[in-house]
């Protein structure tokens, strides 16, 4: 996960899809670990754990990459802190997918 300044005062949070420690688990659970899936992860985490971030950045994923952008670097740092643990912790990812699906959330992957 990288946080970069793309233009003066404009920041992007990037995650290359297919590079996390939980990709195989995501596939076993019936999802494709692409940029759109990671957007769903971010949306679910924001809605359940950090609602104060809602609407403070924009999503712009692609098949091979998750991307969120904002003029507020701090907001993207907070988003990175939410997502990063899920990229490395299989139990956390399994719980997230199970909880999301139980609540009716659908990943767009």
Number of domains the chain contains: 1
Instruction: With cut-offs at 50, 70 and 90, classify the pLDDT of residue 109.
Output: confident
Residue 39 included in any domain: yes
For residue 39, what is the DSSP state?
H
Q: Which H helix or E strand runs over 95?
A: helix 90-102
pLDDT tens readout for residues 9-62: 999 999 999 999 999 999 999 999 999 999 999 999 999 999 999 999 999 999
What is the span of the domain harbouring residue 41? 2-102
Q: How many helices (DSSP H) and strands (DSSP E) are in the chain?
A: 4, 4
Residue 72 included in any domain: yes
Beta strand segments in 1-109, E: 2-7, 10-16, 58-59, 65-70
pTM over 0.75: yes
Residue 109 included in any domain: no
Alpha-carbon torsion (26, 27, 33, 37), positive or negative: negative
72 phi and psi angles, rounded to 5 deg: -105, 100
């Amino acid at each position: 996960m990288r946080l970069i300044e793309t233009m003066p005062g404009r920041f992007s949070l990037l995650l290359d899809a297919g590079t996390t420690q939980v990709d195989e688990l995501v596939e076993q659970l019936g999802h494709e670990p692409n940029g759109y899936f990671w957007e769903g992860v971010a949306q679910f985490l924001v809605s359940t754990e950090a609602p104060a971030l809602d609407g403070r950045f924009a999503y712009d994923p692609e098949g091979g990459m998750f991307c969120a952008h904002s003029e507020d670097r701090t907001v993207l740092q907070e988003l990175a802190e939410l997502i990063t643990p899920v990229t490395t912790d299989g139990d956390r990812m399994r719980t997230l997918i199970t909880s999301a699906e139980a609540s009716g959330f659908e990943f767009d992957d």
